[in-house]
Amino acid sequence: MTIECHSVMKYTTGSRLAVSHATDQMQVEMWRHEAGRLPDLHLQATEVAVLLAGRLSVERKGNGRYQRSVAQPGTFWLCPAGTYETDISLSGAMEETVHIFLPPDLLCRTALEEYEIDPSNIALDYAGGAHDPLLNQIALSFQAMRERPGDALNRLMSDSLRVTLAAHLLRNYLSSPEQRTRSAHTLHGKIDMKRLQRVLDMVEANPQADFSLRELADEACLSPFHFSRAFHNTTGLSPFQYVTERRIEKARAALMSSDRSLSQISADVGFATQASFTRAFKRSAGVTPGQFREAYGRSAR
């Protein structure tokens, strides 16, 4: 399914900084919006917007429901698919805003698979003008992905963010209080060792592969959302973090046992660029790959 966002029609007062991510299940765009009034809008996709830079007041109406907010970095707005949004006015510039567009079928599928809620009865609230720490973190993660295009781990990270976002919206922003209460009872179970071992073996056999969350979840015979939560509950790491750590461990072994160049090792363990490899390695080991190799060489002698 292609997402028809028609974002250019909406944001004629601004300029698109980048398309951070686009698939048939999600589109993420970075925008700067100038002060002024925006055209009326009728989106086919559900939109989540998170302000990353700027301070201003925002007014808008969704299906006639008026909302005014004082916005600062971290403020979000949710516009469910099918909402007719009017009277959108900005008192100042939104210097950088992340806009995430999700197709209705993603939320319906998540409602049915994860919460056993009839998709025909779900409706998201026209919410926003407040700070949501998780939505802010998701937006910042997409911003970070924009700075490292081509990284093989971006696919797995993007998949994880997408299912987390869909589940978060259904847990916290359904218009029906009864459905909100039901969806809040999220499973806290762990993944059994047999299923877990299949996934670990899959990663160990080919840690440089461009795994999707669906591929890992299928190996465990779980839905992506349940797999992601159960994997974290069991290992203490998200699938994305685990795959990254396995790549770093492979790189450590190569740095200690071979004279291959850093760029060769980076490519061998699955990083798209040496720069992304260096950043990930330093976050994990506290030193750069070069410093690690130098320190190991001194201790070995």
pLDDT in tens, 102-134: 887 777 777 766 665 666 677 889 999 999 999
In sequence order, which residues have a C-beta less than 8 Å from that of residue 110 and are 6 or more positions away?
A: 163, 166, 167, 170, 225
User: What's the whole-number mean pLDDT along residues 83-92?
Assistant: 93
Is pLDDT of 301 > 90?
no
Residues 21/40, Cβ–Cβ less than 8 Å: no
Sign of the CA dihedral running 289, 291, 292, 296: positive
Pairwise CA distance, residues 183 & 8, whole Å: 34
The rounded mean pLDDT for the chain is: 81
Confidence of residue 283 (pLDDT cuts 50, 70, 90): confident
What would the pLDDT profile of 130-170 be if each residue is shown by its tens digit?
999 999 999 999 888 877 665 656 778 888 888 889 888 88
Residue 98: per-residue pLDDT: 93
pTM: 0.67
For residue 223 the two structure tokens come to 């839905």
- Look at residue 169 and give its three-state secondary structure: helix
Segment of 21-25, 177-181, 277-281 carrying the highest mean pLDDT: 277-281
What tokens appear for 236 in the block?
A: 């203490």
Averaged pLDDT, 71-81: 94
Task: Tell me the residue type at 24.
Answer: D
pLDDT value at residue 299 = 42
Tokens 């071992």 locate to 197
Pairing assessment for the beta strands 94-102 and 46-53 based on DSSP bridges: antiparallel
Q: Which domains does the chain have, with CATH numbers?
A: 7-153+165-183 (2.60.120.10), 193-236 (1.10.10), 242-300 (1.10.10.60)
Across the range 189-209, mean pLDDT stands at: 85
pLDDT of amino acid 16: 62
How many angstroms separate the CA atoms of 298 and 200, rounded?
33
Mean pLDDT (whole number) for 190-196: 84
pLDDT score of 18? 52
Predicted local distance difference test score (pLDDT) of residue 12: 43
